[in-house]
Every structure is written in structure tokens, then in C-alpha cells.
A and B are shown apart, each in its own frame.
Chain A
Amino acid sequence: MVKYILKRLLLLIPTFFLLTLMVYTILSLSPANPAFMRLGTTATQEQIDEINHELGLDRPLLVRYGTYMWNLITKGDMGVSWVMQTSVYKEFMERLPNTLLLTALALLLTTVVGIVAGVFAAVNQNSIGDRTTMILAMLLISLPNFFLSLICQIVFCLQLRWLPVTGAGSLKHFILPSIMLAASRIAGQVRLTRSSMLDVIGQDYVRTAYAKGCSKRRVVFYHALRNGLMPVITNIGNNVGNIVAGAVTVETIFAIPGVGSMLVNAVRSNDIPQVMSPIIFISLLVCVVNLVVDLLYAVIDPRVKLQYR
């Protein structure tokens, strides 16, 4: 098991480098030159050359990438924003807690609500409850995130005055954004859990358990759910990436100063040091969560655990 974890951790290294190199290269291929952004219409060629030299843009791409990564790994230095001339690390660390809280809440909602509603729908297949759950899931998947957010802001913030429209000052500020972020993923999770559970419920060993006199609760939660959860857990891993990506929109709508909105602003101004830190965070997060998901397989399914030995 430990060997497997180490192997997976080692695999993270080339993945990480390939991904960051890819992002760095794509950004560098953009026609945007930060010197013009700073200098404006009065830019002379000498001034442009000077700023390009100051930012290291007159060096080959690989050298720039190598220098950036070296400083990041050896000194934890994320560089200085090309546009604002401020420390990227400082801004990143200021924003990180908001994004972590938002995505954690959204993931929790997705997982808990998605699994509970999915199991409920599967166990009560073709009932009113099942159909209602499925219709709601379809609605949540169909409605675009920004539209749903706007409707909920009008209802819960403006009409009912239950929640604040924008900001990140308290946990209350995160309720609506996390629900909006989780909405379409919950729907996907419900549908997947339902179909996975239906597959399992139809298996012989489930019928056997019922025949042996096991209660419905024991059959569903002990025998069926453990086996039905395998594809569901895989989906949780995928959801992390989707939720972090979705945070970009939600943070902008609800004015939450997070890593997602930092990424959007940085991409708009082609500010490579500012872009790299959120990208590295997101990629590392997705890699680590997927590793955790793989390890969870072993906890749930003893057959997987045996393969690790």
C-alpha cells in the first residue's frame, strides 16, 4: 500500500511539470506584451525593451519557465505580478482560504446530497419520490450557473433577505455561492448514484441477503451501498476539478475574493506569475484528491486492497 502511494506521489512530479510547462507555454504564445499594458500609447521601443528585460521576456521560453519553477520550488517564490508589481504569494495566500472554504462546502454538499438523494431514488425506483428527484436533477443540470445564481440572489437575498448578495465576511456569505457551485454537480451525482445503486440492487447477492432475512436498511446501506459507491467515488474526484473550475464564475458573481477570480483577472492581463499560482494550486489539488480517491477504493473494496500487496 505504501509502495503504491509512493508510486502515485512520484507520478505527480512529471504530471505537475508537464502541466505547468504547458500552461506557461500557452500563455507565452499570446500576442499580449505586458510592457504595452504598463506603458500605454507613449511606449517607445527602448522602454518596451527595458521592461521586457526587467520581466525576463527577452530570454528563451524554457529558461524563463525553468527560472520560475526553480524559484518556486527552492524559495517558495511565486514572483511579482507583471501588472500590479505586487507579491503574487501574498495575494494568493490572502485569497486561498476563501476558495478552499467555498469548494469544500460545495464538495460536501455535492457528495452528501448527491449520494443520499441517489440512494433514495434507487431504492424507491419509479415512485413519486424517484421521479421528483430525477426532475429536479434534470432542472439543476439544465439551468446555467449564472442564471440560477441570479434567480436565487433575487429570491433569497432581495425578496426574503435571508442571505447577503455579495462578499466573504462570514460563513453566511458562502451558503448561496456553495449551493450554486454544487447545484449541477449534485444533479450529476444523484443520477450516477441512482444508476449505480440500481445495478447493484439487481444483483443476486442482494436478493440472497433479503432471502436470508436482512432488513432493508442493512441490505441497502451495508451490502448494496458499498459496492454501488465505487463509480460514485470516482465521480467525486472528477467533481473536485469541476468545482474548482466553476468557482471562477461563482466567485465573480458573488464578489468573493478567491483564487478563481484571481486567475480570471490574471489571464485577462496575461500576467504569467499571477496565472501560474492558481493553476499550480488547482492542478495539485486535483492530483491529490484523485490519489485520495484511489486510496478510498481500497478502503471500500477489499479486492482492490489485495491488488496493492
Chain B
Amino acid sequence: MKKFLALFLTVTMLAACLTGCGGSNNDSGSSGTASSENGGSKTDDSGSDASGAGSSESSSANADRTLNIGISSEISNIVPMSNNVAVANRDGLIVFALYDPLIWYDTVTNTLSPWIATEWSHNDDGSEWYFTLRDDVYFHNGDKMTAEDVAWSLNLIPENPVVTDANIPGFGHAEVVDDTHITVYMDTPFAAAENFFASYHMVILDKSYQEEVGWDGYLDHPIGTGPYKFADRATGSYVDMEANELYWQGEPDIKKVSLRILPDANSQLLSLETGEVDVLQNVSIENCKRIEDIDGFTVDYETAYAVLYMRWGSNSKLDTDQNLRKAIAAAVDPDAINNVYNRGYTKAVGCMIAPGIHCRPEDGTYTPAQPYDVEAAKEFLANSTYESTDVLSILVVAGSKEEGVCKIIQGNLQDIGINAEMKAIDGSTYSTLTGEGDFDISLYTTLPSLYDCNLIYQYYTPGTVSFENSKFEGKEEMGRLALASLTEMDEEARTDIFRQMINIMNEEALMLPLYQDCNTFCFNGDVTNIDAIPGTNVRIAEWKWN
């Protein structure tokens, strides 16, 4: 009896161990997975076999096949400008599938190119913008897009202050000139208006359809001019789309697309391996490395325009104690974060705006951020108001990648004698505390949605709660420069304004940029032409079946 039990237990435990150790890899020892840095991409020798995911199907068989894309969270707003809720960066994938902006922003080349508007220009002071529109654009319901639709879509801007106050301050109204021309009137000029017209904040909606079904109806079944038509949606689960045969650039190669919401990281990986999804967007570096080790899958990496940075609370002693700020800035080792924690997939950055962003001064033309120097950090600390009993709080959003980075920073600060505790909190509390300035240090990753230095203006806008609460030296100057950056239409002069602002930020250690993040796409061998890009203007319409 005892022998039987012992045997049974041994077999059970062995089985459990083997199951656990087997993991999820189907690899046969050779890693044929693609890995690339900054856009490059190696291809897989093993062809397209995606661990039994049915990847040998011919392209004709793929005609009716649905491309399943795994995303980690619910879409924040499926109809931009419909209800005063901002579109999130992660929603670029669906927004640019369903809709078209007036102008296209290529985040790889950082250039604007004609899209719905074939030409555009503005008067000298930037108070009027003139757009010439395409005449061959149709909405998904077959209605022809008119200048009236474009002007009406633009005139939704004032009805959505949450979205637009920060992104196109000074907007007046839009008027139809004729069938293919509209004029936008600005109450006060906004230098980055052009970028706004190319952003996911502003897409063309169907006026007559909205009048027919109302906003609730529009949200239930969105209509745009984009390469994909809305087909179906289950909140929290999926959004299905079908190729738009009337698309002005031609019907996309992939006819059916389903965005599937998979919040759990492990389930995302397993879904990719089993073929339930074909593509995953922005999974963690750690999981990307795991996928690389599996035959038949490709991972494409690209340095992103999103920057992770540290900032200080306006109600903290850090706001007024420059030495303490510099001590922290000098104590944090970006190499440890970039090369060890992020395995070299993130990139050190000299200021809170990534290189390439509109009006961002070139590296070397502004004062660099405080370099890593433990001895200097200790000296700054000795001259600061920090006391050994003080404990600085570091705010991060619970479950975010910033949690891991925070642990490294805690260690760095401990090395110079600063006690810091991590407070991992929900997103809503984080927004409130950082907005009110009730924290010491916060870690956050931000992408400028306009791909413009306007983000700096947003942080130092006079009148905002965080700015008004702050007391740092140079506050008045920063506020003045921020306002000047809004209306300066000359690109060189505007770049110089941002250079001055970055100089103050780095000299006074108002923020500490840590790294440029990394965007990724993981996909199986069935799909091709997928490239990770620095921004969020992803075009599924360019992807193809292998």
C-alpha cells in the first residue's frame, strides 16, 4: 500500500515537473526567429511554419482568412471627437484602419505627406489654413466624402475641449470654400496645427450618417473613409473589420482583420503560439525574447518616440531643492536600465523629447542632462535639504513596465543614501496625484501624439494646476517660452525656443529623461510586410499574407 502510494506520488510529481519545464516552446533547438534593431529585420530560415498554426495555407486560401491581432487593452475611443474622450496612443492601430486624417505623418521619415488633403498651406501668421481635398474618397456606407464632411468634422473640435485644448489651442472654425476646398480659421495661431491635422485626434467622419444615427449609433457602428470597414464589436473582447473595396488607395491585401483584446501577457504568448492570433503588438522585451526562441515567429523592434522620464512633484521638496534634484539625476544609472534591464532595446536620450520629433533641437546643441556620477551625486546630496530620515515616494502605475525600472532607481538612490519607496497605484490615482503634484518622484512614459515638441508646452502651460502649484526657479521663464512656442510659426525660431526650454530643464534637472522606449511586433510566418515603427501610425492596410 505504502509502495503504491509512493509510486503514485512520484509519477504525479514527475508529470507535473515535465509539464512545467516543457514550457510553451516548440523549438527544436535552432532559433530561426527574426530579431532586428531600428527597423532591420532578419528572416526565418524555417519558412513559415508557425508551430502548427496552419501557416502553409496558400494565398488563395488566405482570401477568406481573418488576420487576428492581439492587443492588451480595450480601445479608449473608437470614434475620435465623438464624446470628449481622448484617443489613446495605443488606438492608432484601429483609428488609422477605420479612418483617414487630412494629412499623413510618416513616423519613420518624420515627414508630412498628402492624404485626404492633396495640398495644404497657411497664411503668414498662421491664422488661416487652406486645404485642397481629394475628390475620390468614399465612406464605408458608399457615401461620397465631401468638403462639408471635412469642415463638419473639424468643427467638432470645440465640442471636445478635453481632447483639443492641449492639442490645437486657438482653433476657430472651418469653412467650406467649394467642393474640394476648405479653410480653417484659427483664433490664435498654433505652430503645430499641421501635425494636429495628421494625428489620430482629427479624422474625417460622415456628417449625414451622424445626423441619421446620432453619436450612440455612430459608436455602435462607426463609419469612416479608412482602408477597413467596421464589422462587429464585443466590448472587452474584439473588434472585427473587413477590407474597404472602395478605398481610394485600393482594397487592402488582407480582407478580414480582428483585433482581439488579451490582457494577460502569458495568454498573449500562448495565443500566438497556438495560432489563435497572428500578430501581437508591443509585448514586453522579455516576452519578445521568448518568442524569438520559437521557430517560425518573427519579432520586429523599433526605437520608439515615447520617452520614459522622472519628474518631481510640485508639492515636494524636490520642486524647490535643485541640489536634491541633481543628486537624484546624477545617481541614476541609465546604462543599468537600458543595457541590463531592457537588454539594450531601449536607448538613452538627452531630453524628454526623442530625436526626430518636429522642432526638437539636435543633440549637442542643448545642455545635456545631468550625467551618471555617483561622487557628484553624493556632493549634491550633501548640499541639499535631504535628511537621512526622509523617505521619497516614487509613483508608478501598478502593473506597468515602470515598476521594474523603479526598482533599479531605488537601488541607485540607496547607493548615495537616499531612501525611496515605490508606490504602485492605479492609473486614475496616478493621474490625480501627478496632476496635483502630491508626490516626490514619478515615472512615466509619454509619446507626443502630434510628434511635435508641443509636449514640452503642455508640461509648462501657465494656468494648469501642476504649473501653478510649482515653485521652481525659472518657472516664469519656462511659462513665457511655452506660450511663445505656441504661436511662433518660423520653424527655426521655434526650435530655438524649445532649445532654451530644454536647457533650463536639464540645467535645473526639472526632469530626468531615462530612455526612448521600444515598439515591437511579434508575428507568425503567415503574415509579412509588418514593420514596427517609432510612433503609433500603424497601417494594417500595408500588411500582406505571406
- A interface list, Cβ under 8 A from B: 30-34, 36-45, 47-48, 51, 83-87, 90-91, 94-95, 128, 131-132, 135, 150-151, 153-155, 157-159, 161, 164-168, 252-258, 261-262, 265, 267-271
Contacts and interface: CB of A to CB of B under 8 A. Distances in A.
Interface stretch (B196-204, B371-379, B459-467): B459-467
A262 B236 contact: yes
Contacts of A164: 274, 276
Contacts of A159: 22
A157 B274 contact: yes
B276 A165 contact: yes
A41 B464 contact: yes
A38 B427 CA distance: 11
Given A47-B165, A151-B19, A253-B267, A91 B235 contact: yes
Contact of A255 (B165, B260, B273, B434): B260
Given A31-B433, A84-B77, A90-B235, 8 more contacts: A32-B432, A37-B431, A37-B432, A43-B464, A83-B428, A94-B234, A165-B271, A255-B260
Contacts of B24: 154, 158
Contacts of B357: none
Given A38-B86, A158-B270, A257 B219 contact: no
Contacts of B161: 47
23 contacts: A33-B432, A36-B435, A42-B464, A43-B464, A43-B465, A45-B468, A85-B85, A86-B83, A91-B236, A94-B234, A151-B16, A153-B270, A158-B24, A161-B52, A165-B274, A166-B267, A166-B270, A255-B237, A255-B262, A257-B237, A261-B263, A267-B426, A269-B426
A158 B274 contact: yes
Contacts of A252: 263-264
A166 B429 contact: no
The 6 A-B residue pairs with the shortest CB-CB distance, nearest first, are A257-B236, A32-B428, A257-B237, A36-B435, A270-B428, A42-B166
A81 to B, nearest CB: 9
Nearest to B273: A158
B84 interface: yes
A85 B84 contact: yes
A36 B426 CA distance: 13
Nearest to B433: A31
Contact of A36 (B238, B267, B432, B468): B432
Nearest to B435: A36
Nearest to A94: B235
Contacts of A44: 463-465
B23 interface: yes
Contact of A257 (B22, B23, B235, B433): B235
A25 to B, nearest CB: 17
A95 B276 CA distance: 21
Nearest to A135: B9
Interface string B1-41: 10011001100000010011011100000000000000000
Given A84-B85, A86-B219, A153-B267, A32 B260 contact: no
B85 A83 contact: yes
B162 interface: yes
Contacts of B237: 167-168, 255-257
Contacts of B428: 30, 32-34, 36-37, 83, 268-271
A41 B459 contact: yes
B110 interface: no
A265 B461 contact: no
A241 B73 CA distance: 27
- B238, B267, B463 — which one has the most chain A CB atoms within 10 A of its CB? B267
A14 B80 CA distance: 43
Contact of B166 (A33, A40, A258, A271): A40
Nearest to A33: B432
B235 A95 contact: yes
Contacts of B76: 84
Given A37-B428, A43-B435, A253 B458 contact: no
A167 B83 contact: no
Contacts of B266: 150, 153, 253
Contacts of A132: 8
A31 B166 CA distance: 24
Contacts of B74: 265
A7 B466 CA distance: 55
B257 interface: no
A161 B276 CA distance: 11
B489 to A, nearest CB: 21
Contact of A128 (B1, B16, B270, B438): B1
Contacts of B431: 32-33, 36-37, 40
B465 A45 contact: yes
A32 B166 contact: no
Interface string B247-267: 000000000000011111011
A85 B85 CA distance: 7
Contacts of B52: 161
A168 to B, nearest CB: 6
Nearest to B426: A268
Interface in B157-205: 161-162, 165-166
B23 A154 contact: yes
A154 B22 contact: yes
A87 B216 CA distance: 9
B260 A166 contact: yes
Contact of A41 (B238, B274, B433, B435): B435
Contacts of A85: 83-85
A249 to B, nearest CB: 9
A135 B236 CA distance: 38
Contacts of A48: 465
A271 to B, nearest CB: 8
Interface in B199-220: 216, 219
Given A32-B428, A33-B432, A95 B236 contact: yes
A95 B271 CA distance: 22
- A36, A44, A85, A256 — which one has the most chain B CB atoms within 10 A of its CB? A36
A154 B19 contact: yes
B263 A270 contact: no
Contacts of A150: 266
A164 B68 CA distance: 14
Nearest to A82: B428
Contacts of B459: 41
- A40, A42, A94, A271 — which one has the most chain B CB atoms within 10 A of its CB? A42
B458 A32 contact: no
- A41, A43, A168, A262 — which one has the most chain B CB atoms within 10 A of its CB? A41
A128 B4 contact: yes
Given A40-B166, A84-B77, A86-B219, A166 B271 contact: yes
Contacts of B273: 158
A179 to B, nearest CB: 16
A165 B236 contact: no
Interface in B326-385: none
A255 B261 contact: yes
A268 B464 contact: no
A177 to B, nearest CB: 11
B236 A261 contact: yes
A11 B50 CA distance: 58
Interface in B439-475: 458-459, 461, 463-466, 468
A257 B431 CA distance: 26
Contacts of B77: 84
A41 B466 contact: yes
